[in-house]
Chain A
Amino acid sequence: MKKKGTANGVRYGMVIDLDKCTGCGTCIVACSAENNVSVLYDESDKTRNINWLKIYVLSNGKAFPHTEVVYLPRPCMQCDHPPCVPVCPTTATTNDSAEGIVSQIYTRCIGCRYCVAACPYHARDFNWFDPKFPEGMDRYLSPEVSPRMRGVVEKCSFCHHRLMRAKSKAYYEGRRDLKEDEYIPACAEACPVGAISFGDLNNPKHKVSELIKSPSAFRLLERLGTEPKVYYMSTKDWVRRMADNYLQGEFKPKG
């Protein structure tokens, strides 16, 4: 695995075990609660509501009793070669952070949606509506995450505020390195089956750096060259087949 050039050699990434994911959606709820994600009056229009983490339902397409269904949670891939960063006209998104997280600066975003068009994972959501928080729910808003107003793009930030909190704590304790369990996004923390692992991909002591070397690990749309830092694991060949586009005969099942 190539070590990419982040400032301090740290690359935070995620590994999601699709064999464990039950599609319960706790990760989505935790993410939305943690990050002050606004609520629409009618949340059923999934093409316009905001969910930083979405769950896709994949099926092998076979008839009963051979039907298999897999749930694929999709946060922002935090690509090392992101298609969204070079296209932003106002530099409202950058990938030069010290930990490799692709940032989104809401106060600079002008809402041109070029990055939304560029992302093949549909990881970026645009605020088509004024953000609303139903009566009473505004009291749980986190003070660490800025809410977004209408007309700006938002996306998963790997709970960057938690990273800041962990770094502050470490600095206060006189050290620079973070322990593996000190910084973990809300979705990984909330997953009841432990399907989401998070850590520094470059650090051999972190679990994720071993997991990504597993033969069942793969990434979405690798052929495009986006170098995503979210890995998936599945022992099922048909799931790996659906992670990318393959011409006839190109996909090599790992059996």
Chain B
Amino acid sequence: MDAAFVPNAVQRCSLRTFALWMLVWLALVVWGLVSAFLCFYKGLNQTNMNHYFAFGLWIVFDLSLIALGAGAFFTGFLTHIIGNVFIYPFVKSLKAIIKPAVVIGFICYSAAIAMLGVDIGQPLRGWFIFWHANVHSMLTEVSFCITVYLGVLTIEYLPIILSNRKLKEVPELNIFGNNLHHMVALFAAAGTFLSFFHQGSLGGMFGVLFGRPFAFREGFLIWPWTFFLFIHSSIAAGPSFTLLCVWIAQKATGKKLVKDSVLIVLAKISGWLLATYIVLKIMDTVGWAYGVVPKAGLSFIDFYQGTYGVWLMVAEIGVFGIIPAIILITPSLRERSGLVIIGAAMNVTGIVLNRFVFAIQTLAIPVMPFDTFMSYIPTWQEWGIALGSIGYGIMVFSLSYRYLPLFPQEAELNPVTVLGKGVTDFGVVKRG
């Protein structure tokens, strides 16, 4: 039925199957919308956040989504900027993945900003961050950069949308899309600059809290070490997340969308960045444990009482840090498709844990000696918004996959033949 909108030389499932698929994720989105309505109507008491847990599930999700969406800017940086200056063989492989990476980035940032809109107590005043900006606050920096970067991602997404078969027939849109794409290096450079700062400032947000010795770090000039660690971990997790999403897409569509070598390149980049990050993270943790902690009159174990114990640190740095780093940097291990996916998934989990630790564990730990340890469990409304954003992401990605030429290698890897002859202009095949 929608064969005219499907890209050339590829097969897509029937519209009915697609609609059923979308319905599942739409249910999540509806749950999210209901939760958002409740939060706007009744207030943030719909959550389990309180004076101790000023930040909750949404902030953890925001931090994680933005860290994982870093695949977009980093792949763009490598492809359009490094690729134009240095001829590295891996850059060519990344061209096969840059479009899905941009879509994933767009999804992550738009979902994060939407979630933030619900999270603040006065969403209608959100524009105050721009209008009454406090340039000394890390949160101002984050807000400006993620908003402008969402604009950049939209500009990078637009040519992909405009490369839809039907839209390309409109000459105005076709030419405009091409001209936008001519400037992609400029947008990629702007995106890299913005991403560098907001990924870092998200870490800086916690590193400057000198009233919270758990999160506080010394640093370089005005930037605490968490600034650089968050940038590093985001570029380590981003390509892994892109890898995972593509792999999931391959599983869901039942066909190969990119050559294995492309995924291996993503794994290699991710692996080496993760390995170097883990080394720096361990150095930072030791420095913190011997510097900031005793200066505040505390000892390392003081922070690991209650629900969030030492196991969390072992999980974050050891299990989901060192192990995936080893898997992803060892050629013989990452060549095995099962292991590389496990490695990427563990990498992503480790970074999400890191964001969780900084947001939630910081707030759970009392600073005044007579104060108590607290723990926090989100309500269904909070889960609704978080999972709704995942449903939204899957819907956008599915639409993009179905109607846009996201994967340049797809046609080559899935040749369509009719009566022994290769077909280049096909469309929809009813597969029931």
A touches B in complex, CB < 8 A? yes
Which residues of A are in contact with B by a Cβ distance under 8 Å?
A: 45, 47-48, 56, 58, 72, 83, 86-92, 108-114, 116-122, 124-130, 150-153, 220-221, 223-226, 242-247, 250
Question: Given A117-B55, A151-B44, A90–B122 Cβ distance below 8 Å?
Answer: no
Cβ contacts under 8 Å, A118 to chain B: 209, 211-212
For B106-147 the 0/1 string (1 means CB < 8 A from A) is: 000000000000011110011011001110111110010000
Question: Given A89-B143, A150-B121, A120–B212 Cβ distance below 8 Å?
Answer: yes
- For A48, give the chain B residue with the smallest CB separation: B50
**Inter-chain contact count A-B, CB under 8 Å?**
161
Are B138's CB and A72's CB within 8 A? Answer: no
How many angstroms from the CA of A88 to the CA of B120 in the assembled complex? 13
Are A247's CB and B210's CB within 8 A? Answer: no
Are B211's CB and A120's CB within 8 A? Answer: yes
Are B43's CB and A151's CB within 8 A? Answer: yes
- For B294, give the chain A residue with the smallest CB separation: A247
Min CB–CB distance B316 → chain A (angstroms): 20
The stretch of B191-199, B227-235, B366-374 that contacts the partner chain:
B366-374
Which residues of B are in contact with A by a Cβ distance under 8 Å?
A: 43-45, 49-52, 54-55, 119-122, 125-126, 128-129, 132-134, 136-140, 143, 205, 208-213, 294-299, 302, 362-363, 367-371, 374
How many angstroms from the CA of A112 to the CA of B120 in the assembled complex? 5
Which 7 pairs of residues, A with B, have the shortest CB-CB distance? Answer: A111-B121, A151-B121, A245-B297, A120-B211, A83-B211, A47-B50, A113-B54
Cβ contacts under 8 Å, A48 to chain B: 45, 50-51
Cβ contacts under 8 Å, A89 to chain B: 128-129, 133-134, 137, 139-140, 143
Are A128's CB and B49's CB within 8 A? Answer: yes
Min CB–CB distance A222 → chain B (angstroms): 10
Min CB–CB distance A148 → chain B (angstroms): 10
Are A126's CB and B121's CB within 8 A? Answer: yes
Are A224's CB and B133's CB within 8 A? Answer: no
Min CB–CB distance B129 → chain A (angstroms): 5
How many angstroms from the CA of A26 to the CA of B51 in the assembled complex? 23
Are B367's CB and A128's CB within 8 A? Answer: no
Are A244's CB and B297's CB within 8 A? Answer: yes
Question: Given A86-B208, A117-B363, A223-B297, A110–B371 Cβ distance below 8 Å?
Answer: no
Question: Given A88-B137, A108-B128, A220–B368 Cβ distance below 8 Å?
Answer: yes
Are A128's CB and B50's CB within 8 A? Answer: yes
Are B296's CB and A90's CB within 8 A? Answer: no
Min CB–CB distance B171 → chain A (angstroms): 44
How many angstroms from the CA of A30 to the CA of B54 in the assembled complex? 27
Majority DSSP secondary structure for residues of B touching A: loop
How many angstroms from the CA of A220 to the CA of B371 in the assembled complex? 12
Are A128's CB and B211's CB within 8 A? Answer: no
Min CB–CB distance B139 → chain A (angstroms): 4
How many angstroms from the CA of A242 to the CA of B371 in the assembled complex? 10
Cross-chain pairs A/B with CB under 8 angstroms, 21 sampled = A48-B51, A87-B139, A87-B205, A90-B128, A90-B132, A91-B133, A116-B51, A120-B368, A122-B51, A126-B51, A126-B54, A128-B43, A128-B45, A130-B43, A150-B121, A151-B44, A151-B121, A223-B295, A225-B210, A244-B297, A250-B297
How many angstroms from the CA of A235 to the CA of B7 in the assembled complex? 81
How many angstroms from the CA of A117 to the CA of B209 in the assembled complex? 8
Cβ contacts under 8 Å, A244 to chain B: 297, 369
Min CB–CB distance A69 → chain B (angstroms): 11
- For A122, give the chain B residue with the smallest CB separation: B51
Cβ contacts under 8 Å, B49 to chain A: 113, 128
Cβ contacts under 8 Å, B55 to chain A: 113, 117
Are A117's CB and B51's CB within 8 A? Answer: no
- For B209, give the chain A residue with the smallest CB separation: A118
Min CB–CB distance A20 → chain B (angstroms): 19
Cβ contacts under 8 Å, B370 to chain A: 56, 58, 72, 242
How many angstroms from the CA of A125 to the CA of B50 in the assembled complex? 9
How many angstroms from the CA of A47 to the CA of B50 in the assembled complex? 6
Task: Beyond A88-B134, A150-B121, list 10 extra A-B contacts (CB 8 Å).
Answer: A47-B50, A89-B140, A91-B132, A92-B128, A109-B125, A116-B51, A126-B51, A151-B120, A224-B210, A245-B369
